[in-house]
Structure 1
């Protein structure tokens, strides 16, 4: 099962696999602000209350690129503008944008598997194998990051999400990471952060916004 799922992530030459990206982690700073947006379905609604900015309950949680159905993950972004792209906000849409931070009661380091890191090719040992490993790791992380950031389309099959869901589960269990970080394909200046357990986060603010400008080109839209 594992090999079949990982087949698409095997890079030629010595079969470097997903295990190599587990060494790339970042610590989530307690002061780091992250954002999550939700569309309003009625005009002139008040901003959503703080609890409504979190994940839906398990019985209402659908499968996504990172999470299987029934197991909600908290999808956040490090750029406030990027969340509007991620939820496909359109002209005149009204949205609530929540600001999240790590709970100050969390004492352990919260580690995030970082798929966005750009490694240096400097090698202290000067070994070619070490440089090759860094290059393969970068190629692998870029591929997984692209797959994770693909927009969910209405004609997708739940089976399409199995490889990336499996990768996230592997990272969560094997490395003990609390989440993953990957680039946004819809808004390149932002990064997405998926938190496996939303209970470590708190929503400190919710503001309402209205989309007043739409930019459409061949690469992305808002």
Structure 2
């Protein structure tokens, strides 16, 4: 289940969102030669990723920040940038450019902190913008709980685009992170579920001042949880149904 767009247009150019996407893409391209050399790639991630065991020893603290701009592959990068593009522009529109950048970095740092608490002795480097982007998703849920999100649903051979309210899509995503975090060991690598869950919670908390300034529950009641501006409408292309022509019998 992948979100492909929301119906929540932003009113200003999201320059910080664009800059973050560009920075992640450029850094990935620069690091790309390392992917053909496993040992070089491992050394690169140890040097610039977030390694909990190193932080426990007071070393490589810069990894808390630099890990937010590293990715383990093209699909990892593409998925993260898609989520940032869909949800980031609206928070930047609401928080302002500088406020959104501070919010993004703070969410990423808190996410790394949660992963550290889960596995403080792990030597597995954590890389990716997922924790910071999870914060963006948490803030989006608080500010636009009923914004409509188009989701690409793939079930074996069934492929559909369905529209869900943000609370359903983002709430389901958060629930999956929690369940997966409980069911897997944070020391063995793989997906950093606790960083995702921690970043999401950080985003909810850090977006509270913006929500309260907008009126809090009063704002929700006046907008019914929808964005306070007209939603974007998309036209879907319908593929015409082609039926087989029946052959006429020579006796007809």
- Looking at secondary structure, tell me which structure has more helix per residue: 2
TM-score, with structure 2 as normaliser: 0.23
Bigger Rg, structure 1 or 2:
2
Query: Greater relative contact order (Cα 8 A, min sep 6): structure 1 or 2?
Result: 1
- Looking at secondary structure, tell me which structure has more strand per residue: 1
TM-score, with structure 1 as normaliser: 0.25
